[in-house]
Amino acid sequence: MKLSWLVQMFTILGFLLLGNGIITVFHIPLPGSVIGMILLFVFLLTGMMKLEWIEKVSSFQLKHLTLLFIPPIASLFLSPRLLEILQWNIIVILLVSNITCLLGTAYTVEWYERIKRRNVK
């Protein structure tokens, strides 16, 4: 049974809100979204939830993941308190590690696609 796009979105949103509620009640030092993802993962592993119930929306989100990161990162860098929170050396480390991760992922995907094309021919 495949659910509509809107129901799938509200299902994922429900896990986010559940995770936020859990960290509020139990004062867990983790973001609510992480707790929600862990709960979603457990539900999928145990079979309490089927993958096709959230497949359409999660595929869309994964496809556009980089666009979903732009607003929070831009607001963080435009925040005047950023330099108070982070020292310059931390900012340099974050920038270098992000660029390294991005390039590493890009080259790995390119390498994988090249191997996949060779095996298809």
Identify which has the larger pLDDT, 78 or 58. 58
Report, as an integer, the average pLDDT of 66-89.
71
Total structural domains within the chain = 2
Are 53 and 1 members of one domain?
A: yes
Are 51 and 94 members of one domain?
A: no
Cβ distance 11 to 54 under 8 Å? yes
Are 56 and 1 members of one domain?
A: yes
List the domain range (segments joined by +) for residue 97: 65-121
Are 76 and 104 members of one domain?
A: yes
Q: Which tens digits make up the pLDDT trace of 91-107?
A: 788 889 999 999 999 99
Tell me the pTM: 0.58
Q: What is the pLDDT at residue 22?
A: 95
Are 9 and 53 members of one domain?
A: yes
Report, as an integer, the average pLDDT of 50-72.
84
Q: How far is CA 69 from CA 10, 74, 77, 115, in A?
A: 20, 9, 12, 30
Are 54 and 70 members of one domain?
A: no
